[in-house]
Structure 1
Amino acid sequence: MNAPASPVATRPTVNPSQLIELLTAYVPAQLPVLITGSPGIGKSDIVEQVAHATEHDLLISHPVVEDPTDSKGLPFPSKDGMTAAHLPFGDLERAVNSDKPLIWFLDDLGQASPAVQAAKMQLLLARRVGTHALPPHVTFVAATNRRTDNAGVTGILDPVISRFATVVELQPSVNDWTEWAVRNDVPVELIAFLRFRPDLLSVPKRGRDIENSPSPRSWGFVGKTMPVVARGLELLSYSGTVGGAAAAEFMSFLGIYRQLPSPDSILLNPDTAPIPENTSALYAVTAALAAYSNEGNFDRVLTYTDRIISGGGREFGALLVRDALRRTATLANTDAFVRAQGGEIGKIIQGN
């Protein structure tokens, strides 16, 4: 008789929206959370966003460069020299003496030495070090890469893991990334490309060579460099940011994007302007029109959008209108949008 298979331990996975929702519930309740995931997928940014949303101050510590005394305080002798007390300093002193709600974020915890991790245990569970107690309004959140990420992680001590109320693994989502990108004025052609190739948003690095790989963070750097890099240097620049294969695909997409008609030419005749049949070109056109939309031309944008939807491009119509509204919320008050609410555009916005 075969022995039963051993259960495989798995961490629950969350996308960025779910992690924000979870932290927004846990942090005000002073419940510590440990977030795992590959490098560059937005763990730190999400914690910062939650701190702002929950009106907490944010204290960021990097245990990988700490000594155990950072978590215990320095021993200081009394005047008679017969006793000593540990005096907090640095981040510990700030947390102990804080008087407002505070997220104490332990970033890259898995890269810290076992001695430093062990020094954190008393803070995480007993919430005190020596005679110094943490105020109740201090909440711990920690993040770490995984051992498979080639990020110098050897693991986290089991007693440290057990101090967290929950452990979750963050997985990037192209929908969450593009929502962030629209709000932060990332070039529309990059947004369109990653919608077309969502599998390239985050690609695990397999080797140990000194090179970058695609991640939400590295694509964010591409967005920042696009306005300043000369066309003759684009492939070289982007290859150094996301790797040669992803950069080559992005350059091919840019070639298509740059040959498309301009938003101006489309909106001059929205009733007759051609609608691309190629999927990548459709992503490019809808992203460009969303960025170009304003209160003066939104009626023509919606006319063209209706034609896209009627031709079977319901998903593209939804992306166009939603991106336009994210960029310029006042478009929802235009007569054209109010009228469109009763038709197919209204249905796709409502998710029907």
Structure 2
Amino acid sequence: MSKLPLNRRHVLAGLGATLATPALMGRAHAAEVTLRLHHFLPAVAPMHNEVFLPWAAKLAEESDGAIEVQIFPAMQLGGKPPQLADQVRKGVADIAWALPTYTTGRYPVAETMGLPFMAKDAEETSVALFKLMEEFGEGEFRGMKPLAFWSHDGGKLHMRDAPVRTAADLQGKKIRSPNAGMGELLTALGAETVFFPVTEMVVGLSNGVIDGCCLPYEVVPPFKLHELTKSSSEAAAGARGLYANTNALLMNERTYESLSDDLRKLIDDNSGLELSRHMGKVTHESFEAAGRELVEETGNEIVEIDAAEIATWKEAAEPVYANWIARLDEAGHDGTAILARVNELLDQGA
């Protein structure tokens, strides 16, 4: 597994080669359509540089310049991260990277993959998530066209001081939870949980409002998490990760429908299952590895939560699953079937 970030040429190749259709040949190089892509992380974030920029370049190249994607990182178009999906639906942005878990209960099928222990490596989880949404998520993002669904690697517990080896180490600790499901589990294990967007986490760690957070290693570099914490705890090798939040790349449906047939096809050819797989693969092989390496180089302690301890945490998560099944049922879904399908897809692998 390479620990080096993928360069632009490699990422473009990884997205796959799509030949220009006759309708795209000979277009003028002036853009016919400009799409604004909005997201919440700073421009130094790996996802911005190693996925979104190459993706935008690929659309421009294959459309012979007819499509221009302008990328606005760090909420430059205004608003807060939980508002990104609504910004796409309302047309404030044409495309956005949104986290359904920031609006708990609104996109319950997509949020299911954020439950505790519903994570393998990012590529496998991303493929499972995309297939789950194909089967159960129709209509969940009304007014929007999902372009990709992906996941990060399993989250780790990053602490300001001593590492977490057992639930006893969580007693009374204030932890920033990544979503509602993990918040329920951490509370059951004895922690005091809070939730706010990842963009506000630095302040919380710096001023001691929180003792730690639950995040993948990929978030370490852009937020200098290695400088704010002294230890990281990860699930035993071979076990499922603690959690993995759902990510969605969404496009305004009206904007998509307004495109010419050939440009819509070009968008289709550069989205869907393979884009989801690619985003998960790059996240796992490049972003996660680079973040962990930075933690190691800083000299922070990395510990493994052993399999027996993880087993007790999974037992503690049973009420979390039951609550989520009830929530899915209330939303008109078959919650039991969805949870069973998630586990089946994860067990099948990518």
Q: After TM superposition, is the score higher than 0.5?
A: no
Greater share of residues in strand: 2
Task: With a CA cutoff of 8 Å and minimum separation of 6, indicate the structure with the bigger relative contact order.
Answer: 2
Q: TM-score, normalization: structure 1?
A: 0.26
